[in-house]
Structure formats: structure tokens, C-alpha cells
Amino acid sequence: MIIITGKTVAKFWGIVCAAIGIIGLILTRELSFVSILIPSCWLCILSNTLDDSKEKADAMRKIARRQDDR
């Protein structure tokens, strides 16, 4: 089951935005269009991915602490 959150939506639109940028680059061969679009998309995707990995690492640390306390 997929839980739709703000991060999920941001990743989806980041991927769509990057795809549009790549298609635009292929069709127009102009970097001016893509140079504005793609960096913001990748930053959006990467920032959300890093947030997810931080949350997972924090959750793993909490689990490890609970096991150490026992």
C-alpha cells in the first residue's frame, strides 16, 4: 500500500519535472530551457530522498536503543 504524503507528491512532481526537462532538451536542443528546469527538480528529489533516509536512520537508532536498554 502506498501512503500519499507531501514528500511522495514532491518526488512524483520532481520526477515529472525532470522528465519534461529531458524531453525538452531532446526536442529543442537548447540548454537554456533545461538549465532552469532540471536542477530544481533534482534538488527536490534529492532533498526528499535524504529526508527519508534520515528518518529511517533515526528509526533504526531508536530500535537499537530499545534493544540495548533490555
pLDDT tens by residue, 14-50: 777 777 777 777 777 766 666 666 666 666 666 666 6
47 is in which domain, residue-wise? 6-69
Q: Is residue 1 situated within a structural domain?
A: no
Q: Is residue 18 situated within a structural domain?
A: yes
Q: What is the spatial distance between Cα 55 and Cα 51, in angstroms, rounded to a whole number?
A: 6
C-alpha cell at 1: 500500500
Number of domains, the chain: 1
* Model confidence band, residue 57 (pLDDT cutoffs 50, 70, 90): confident
Q: Is residue 28 situated within a structural domain?
A: yes
pTM assigned to the model: 0.40
Cα–Cα separations (whole angstroms), residue 7 to 35, 39, 54, 61: 24, 18, 13, 22
Residues 6+ apart with CB under 8 A from 18: 37, 38, 41, 42, 45
